[in-house]
Structure 1
Amino acid sequence: MRRLTRLLLPALLLGGTYVAVTRPDSLPFQRPAPTPAGRADPETVESGGEAGTGPLQNLSDTALKAAVARNPVSIQALKAREYPGSALTVRQTLAAGSTYTRQVVSYQSEGLRINALLTVPRGTPPQGGWPAIVFNHGYIPPAEYRTTQRYVAYQDAFARAGFVTLKSDYRGHGSSEGQALGGYDDPGYTVDVLNAAASLRRDPRVNPDRLGLWGHSMGGQLSLKAMIVDPRLKAASLWAGVIASYDVLATDWNPPPGEPRTLDALNRRYLRLLSPNAYLQELNGRPIQLHHGTNDADVPYSFQKKLADDLRNAGQSAEAYRYEGDNHNLSGNLRVALNRSVQFFKENL
């Protein structure tokens, strides 16, 4: 069974005050950073008392939004960055598919060399270039990850249908440079996805105005973030995505038996504002397609249902498919789901 990382959430520092998250000490949440000079010790100044009763629970929305914007994983911080990408450099030419070529390539992301698997349809590109899909894989232990393994059938389906695909290894995966710090409490993987999109736009075989995203599991959240940050990305198909609001991930995602996780009211507000789910209106009508099995043991089906409801409530286009009894990889409905994703991109890219 594929392992998934647990969400690691940054401590909230507001004017030197640490707002504690009520949780068992054994849970793997990130500890506060060392206290800067002149600030109160975060280990001794906490919200205190029962959840939701501390003195900072009535913090203004303006101050809370400012705190969110300072977090490097926030949508605001991601939008403040630049994503130039680079030319795609061929590292290895692989055996071709029946209707497309396959190469290991690399691109630049924050000065790091990131490897990726590129597929390009054979034949004459359509006017303006091939449409392209930034392909975002789910969690695989970075030390075990190999560029050419897993998701082969998925890329094959899109390449056969006339799409360029680029499956980024993310930093710290395989032979990519950098550290693998996770997809939730560190911005690095999202930065790599956005630079992958920018790199595809530089390729003369690709139509820069016809880019979309496909994401599975952790890659679903990375895709949703990238879609919100970059308005030029036209559509996204998300499979079994870890796409619940951060406060839900912190409390409800695979809690240890008998060890309930709770949040005080301020942290719950903070995590909701930190989550990409709070910015769905910024999709501005760009379509999202969702796929999820009801017997997914890694990421609950309820995540998709809630996101679909939130998308519709935000006035966005949402196409959601439920696969009764299917697992995290949609093994029982793989061909059906792939065909639906291919058709979705044909209609929207």
Structure 2
Amino acid sequence: MKRLVASLACLVLLGAATGCTRPDERPVEVTPNPAPSPTEQGSPSGSVAPSSTVSLPSLFDKEYDGGRLRLGKEVEHTATQRQYDITYRGDGLTISGRIAVPEGPGPFPAVVLAHGFIDPGDYTTGQGMTREREWFADHGYVALHVDYRGYGSSDGRGIPGADLGIGYATDVINAVLALRAWDGPVDDDRVALVGRSLGGGVVLDALVADPGLTDAAVVWAPVSSDLGDLYRHFLAGDPGRADLRDGIDLLYGSPRDNPDFWRGISPRTYFDRVTEPVLINHGTADETCPLRWSRETARLLHEAGDRATLAVYPGEGHSFGARFDSSMERSERFLADQLR
């Protein structure tokens, strides 16, 4: 059963990188048009009762306690930055990660990085957003990469991801608090969240869980803000995953049979809580997380009153190849404007 739950969590939170194409087009910026917000629907008779702990509202009044950020060994030293393994405390856990600190006195603006899906058994500290961490530090940002609970050297409770990312959002929020409490060269008034794929979904969860925590957010190729889309995209209609689909139906009910649960775990349901401007980067050739997911997320954020921008990269795939640098430059311009 534990293996089943772990496999289900991996599939529902899937954000694994795939190959990408390498066109030379410039990104197309889109200002979303308003769209109707999700409608409220009652649960059908006999549906599985939503879990009070596996839901985003369970995070709304949570007391976050991130702190005690400690530098470990130095793992990289260049002319522009130093990188260290780190740990911090939060939610009763010790969470590991890696931090990149620009050379110089600071204080520097900071970003907290939420990585995409990697099998926890294959994961090593700091994996998943190595390029972004190095790029941000080279451009004058302290960049803190979070190893979620159950990843790297982090403590864990239960099976990684079995709560569909609720714990990961808690770890990211606590990372922001730990970074601000640290006595290092961080400008506490200029902090942003950054996420990729699964981490993009974690960032959206954090934005609705703790409005005003940071000043801005940037995501690349995020998973859908409706977790029912992930169920339908990765599980429904695939005979090879019938056992996994049946298992998640047993645990939570399907999106059709238990819509209240799936709405309660989906950040778009609560986009009216988001206060930070959001930039979404997405390629048109993404076969893992379809561009339509980000179009809908941007539309709904905009409709809820958030300053959301979608930057579309023609021909670019899920992991960003040829357009990686231009997407970083676009994102840095956005952050420089928002973190002034």
Q: TM-score, normalised by structure 1?
A: 0.76
Residues 118, 166 of structure 1: 8 Å contact kept: yes
Q: How far 1:79 sits from its partner (Å)? A: 1.8
Which position in structure 2 is the counterpart of 1:15?
none
Shift in CA distance, 295/183, structure 1 to aligned 2, threshold 3 Å: farther
- CA distance in structure 1 between the aligned counterparts of 2:76 and 2:337, rounded to whole angstroms: 30
- CA distance in structure 2 between the aligned counterparts of 1:264 and 1:75, rounded to whole angstroms: 16
Which position in structure 1 is the counterpart of 2:130?
152
Q: Match of 1:287, as an amino acid?
A: P
- CA distance in structure 1 between the aligned counterparts of 2:306 and 2:220, rounded to whole angstroms: 18
Which position in structure 1 is the counterpart of 2:270?
279
Shift in CA distance, 183/218, structure 1 to aligned 2, threshold 3 Å: farther
Q: Match of 1:131, as an amino acid?
A: P
Q: Match of 1:5, as an amino acid?
A: C
Give the one of 142, 145, 165 matched to 2:143: 165
1:290-331 deviation per Cα after TM superposition (whole angstroms, max 9, x unaligned): 011122121111110110111111121111111222111111
Deviates more, 1:247-256 or 1:210-219: 247-256
1:193 corresponds to 2:175: no
Is there any run of 5+ residues in structure 2 with no aligned partner, and where?
1-8, 14-41, 246-252
- CA distance in structure 1 between the aligned counterparts of 2:267 and 2:44, rounded to whole angstroms: 27
1:200-349 alignment runs, 5 A limit = 200-204=179-183, 205-230=185-210, 231-253=212-234, 255-257=236-238, 267-284=258-275, 286-349=276-339
Q: Match of 1:314, as an amino acid?
A: A
Shift in CA distance, 293/183, structure 1 to aligned 2, threshold 3 Å: farther
Tell me which structure has the larger Cα radius of gyration: 1
Which position in structure 2 is the counterpart of 1:60?
none
1:113-132 deviation per Cα after TM superposition (whole angstroms, max 9, x unaligned): 2111111111121xxx3211
Shift in CA distance, 311/53, structure 1 to aligned 2, threshold 3 Å: closer
Q: Does the residue aligned with 1:296 lie in a helix, a strand or coil?
A: coil
Shift in CA distance, 249/85, structure 1 to aligned 2, threshold 3 Å: same
- CA distance in structure 1 between the aligned counterparts of 2:43 and 2:100, rounded to whole angstroms: 55
- CA distance in structure 2 between the aligned counterparts of 1:143 and 1:211, rounded to whole angstroms: 31
Is there any run of 5+ residues in structure 1 with no aligned partner, and where?
9-51, 58-63
Shift in CA distance, 157/270, structure 1 to aligned 2, threshold 3 Å: same
- CA distance in structure 1 between the aligned counterparts of 2:238 and 2:140, rounded to whole angstroms: 47
- CA distance in structure 2 between the aligned counterparts of 1:55 and 1:183, rounded to whole angstroms: 26
Q: Match of 1:200, as an amino acid?
A: L
Shift in CA distance, 162/270, structure 1 to aligned 2, threshold 3 Å: same
Residues 102, 120 of structure 1: 8 Å contact kept: yes
Q: How far 1:270 sits from its partner (Å)? A: 4.0
1:26-51 deviation per Cα after TM superposition (whole angstroms, max 9, x unaligned): xxxxxxxxxxxxxxxxxxxxxxxxxx
Q: How far 1:172 sits from its partner (Å)? A: 1.5
Cα RMSD (Å): 2.6
Q: Match of 2:278, as an amino acid?
A: I
Residues 209, 232 of structure 1: 8 Å contact kept: no
- CA distance in structure 2 between the aligned counterparts of 1:170 and 1:263, rounded to whole angstroms: 26
Give the one of 5, 12, 27 matched to 2:10: 5
- Ranked by relative contact order (alpha carbons within 8 Å, sequence separation 6 or more), the top structure is 2
- CA distance in structure 2 between the aligned counterparts of 1:264 and 1:328, rounded to whole angstroms: 25
% same residue: 31
Q: Match of 1:136, as an amino acid?
A: A
Shift in CA distance, 145/324, structure 1 to aligned 2, threshold 3 Å: same
Q: Does the residue aligned with 2:309 lie in a helix, a strand or coil?
A: strand
1:177 corresponds to 2:155: yes
1:138 corresponds to 2:116: yes
Number of aligned residues: 290
- CA distance in structure 2 between the aligned counterparts of 1:56 and 1:202, rounded to whole angstroms: 48
Which position in structure 1 is the counterpart of 2:4?
none
